[in-house]
Structure 1
């Protein structure tokens, strides 16, 4: 039996009626003075409510572009993008978005950086404060809520950014290399924290990452993208329980086989891992 046969893979997912995120034959083309560039072509993907999907692929394959489509920050050149069955026709304010940089306001404490989301959305103050307290406890920031960004480690800054993105309880959380700038140990800790928070909130998550290990550890499914113009090469069912102890999970055959298969697909013997 070849390794590829150990996985349920597909280039187009079936379309569940209640998909949290749906992309149907999406293409994105950019026009410059010198040439036209196709960033994505024929991308079809459906993500179930509460599912965690990671997206990996070579640099420039359109991973971040895909997230921008879901967020409504970019319009597809062709095809359809849907959130909760509703077509995305403009910027979506109901989602959460976490970037590689925490982008905190230096003159605001951790708590007030989180509450910035509430101010923008005009959330009821009592509701916003209660939700902020809940998220601070959930992310292990208790005791640091009054600290300013320069007093926080990189990992803690990203926890604040995650709290800010989750404050309004978004149905979908988009994460674009959120841990890429962290050291290896902090990144592992944040992976464990994110897994726990996802299990508690059951928010639908789309994560873009260059780390194969991170993708397999965190996700229910891993979408493997081709070089530009990006399309979906395979979708890998990871096959691990939702609750995952980090060290034990990395030693499991399912983890090793999935990671090795993705590495083979990417030709990524030297991939960030």
Structure 2
């Protein structure tokens, strides 16, 4: 298995002083000239190069791009699951040097434990983080209500639809009230109607919680509907081709939003950047 090159000692030393002080005036996420290179016996592969971006506190940013361009790698860098070969990644003003506990992570597959109910799958997060029991129960009840899972608390995963399972996974990721939520193609395996419904729910949850969200998606429509800004990546080695502002109100009716000229402008620009062959979804 190939391994990424680590950042240099000089990078670490330079960053130490900058890591001190409060994070109030810092963006939620900052990437400065980030590159990721993987080395194996046969070849070297550059997954990302020259990536620089800021994500403001409370912002919703979607990341789109060709398959294999490093979108998921960006999320792993923010989570501290992968170290950059060069450049720096900061989370709320602190240099990311290892796995972070102040993020939530939602994957394409819900990855629920089949023998645990929906409620107990959500509470798994609390057990791992050793949250106070009463706080965890209260927060779980709030999230179940917020995500429309009321009445399904005691259902096992095989008794839930794919959309319901993803709601449980989202509750689990939000249980500890993370300031930053990372979402890696969380609705990609769902049917079109369920995906639209969860997009509407996600917009409402983001507005209610104020959580900073980074969403990786292959759906152009989903990116434009949910995000404040859309980061469009190039083919590998992935870098940022353009960052597009989405000039839409925070609260977005689905059908009405799809019909707005601002929505069409964003989706058309994304398709242009990705190439004429890019599909709408």
TM range (shorter): over 0.9
Structure 1 CA distance, aligned partners of 2:129 and 2:278? 43
Alignment of 1:229-268 (within 5 A): 229-268=237-276
Deviation, structure 1 residue 140: 0.2
Query: With CA pairs under 8 Å and 6+ residues apart, which has the higher RCO, 1 or 2?
Result: 1
Residue 50 (structure 2) aligned to one of 42, 50, 60: 42
Structure 1 CA distance, aligned partners of 2:28 and 2:62? 15
Q: Which residue of 1 is the match for residue 100 of structure 2?
A: 92
**TM-score, normalization by structure 2:** 0.91
Structure 1 CA distance, aligned partners of 2:276 and 2:240? 16
Unaligned runs of 5+ in 1: 1-15
Describe the SS at the equivalent of 2:31: strand
Is the contact between residue 52 and residue 218 of structure 1 (CA under 8 Å) also seen in structure 2?
Answer: yes
Structure 2 CA distance, aligned partners of 1:65 and 1:148? 32
Q: Which residue of 1 is the match for residue 67 of structure 2?
A: 59
What do the CA deviations read for 1:146-186 (whole angstroms, capped 9, x no partner)? 00000000000000000000000001000000000000000
Q: Which residue of 2 is the match for residue 21 of structure 1?
A: 29
Unaligned runs of 5+ in 2: 1-23
Structure 1 CA distance, aligned partners of 2:247 and 2:95? 31
Structure 2 CA distance, aligned partners of 1:247 and 1:162? 24
With over 3 angstroms needed to count, the CA separation of the structure-2 counterparts of 1:43 and 1:156, relative to structure 1, is: same
RMSD of aligned Cα (Å): 0.9
Deviation, structure 1 residue 17: 3.7
What do the CA deviations read for 1:27-46 (whole angstroms, capped 9, x no partner)? 00000111100000000010
Q: Which residue of 2 is the match for residue 142 of structure 1?
A: 150
Is the contact between residue 55 and residue 225 of structure 1 (CA under 8 Å) also seen in structure 2?
Answer: yes
Deviation, structure 1 residue 18: 1.7
Residue 162 (structure 1) aligned to one of 167, 170, 179: 170
**TM-score, normalization by structure 1:** 0.93
Q: How many residues get paired?
A: 258
